[in-house]
Amino acid sequence: MPGRKLTPQDIEDRKIISSNLNSLLAKSGRKKSDITSQCKIPASTLTGYFAGTRLPTAENVKALAEFFHVKPEEIDPRLNPAPSNVIPINRTKLHRIPVIGTIACGDPIDAEQNVVDYLELPGHLPDGAFALICEGDSMEPSLQDGDRVVIEPTPNVEDGEVAAVLVDDQAKATLKRIKHIGDSIWLMPDNRDYDPIVLDAQHPGRIIGKAIKLIRDRI
């Protein structure tokens, strides 16, 4: 039976545990074989912990902590107590929305072949909301490369709002600020090193939604 699918947090925890174990081992002057002998952890399992390819069990974390004479949370970040001001998230109130890569012509936006990931977000979100990943620097400083932007599906976007727009036959939506001029729509970059894109009868495009939320990873 296949195991639980790894989450991004699992992968990050593996990296941290691996780094902590390698650092502790270097400082101790001991060998991995000493750990295997004293902690009764199989060598192949221990290798996975040190390489960051396996997550240790709570029992093995405790054994490793005793070996290195440290607290278990100094090895495994999952054991760190949550700050007192943290409010647990009620996962029943999270909204799961798709992150869209490309959008095939004529397909629904959230068609399976278009989805590259999913986000779970708290708070109210409009029906059909989806997210796009920013690419490039044309919208800096407002939007940065790698930012995820939540989009409300709507063709109606006011001047000054950021819209997700499909231009010509491109499969990826561009994120630009909207400006209506006569019968044309100008897609304005925030970065002045880039030129606007003009949508008119000769240069068609389709507004698929407006940006309502920015998600940026913090280091």
Q: Regarding beta strands 148-152 and 130-133, do their DSSP bridges make them parallel or antiparallel, or are they unpaired?
A: antiparallel
Place of tokens 């909301």: 129
Which of 176, 179, 184, 213 is labelled catalytic?
176
Identify the CA nearest to 169 among candidates 106, 212, 125.
106
Which of 19, 138, 184, 213 is labelled catalytic?
138
**Amino acid identity at 180:** H
216: tokens are: 């940026």
- Which positions ≥6 away from 73 have C-beta within 8 Å? 79, 80, 81
Give the rounded distance of the alpha carbon of 120 from its chain centre.
10
Helix axes 43-51, 32-39, angle to 10 degrees: 130
Cα separations (Å) of 21 from 13, 33, 63, 94, 219? 12, 14, 12, 35, 22
Contact indicator for 97, 121 with CB cutoff of 8 Å? yes
176 assigned to active site: yes
138 assigned to active site: yes
Query: What Rg value do the Cα atoms of the chain yield, rounded?
Result: 24
- Catalytic positions are 138, 176
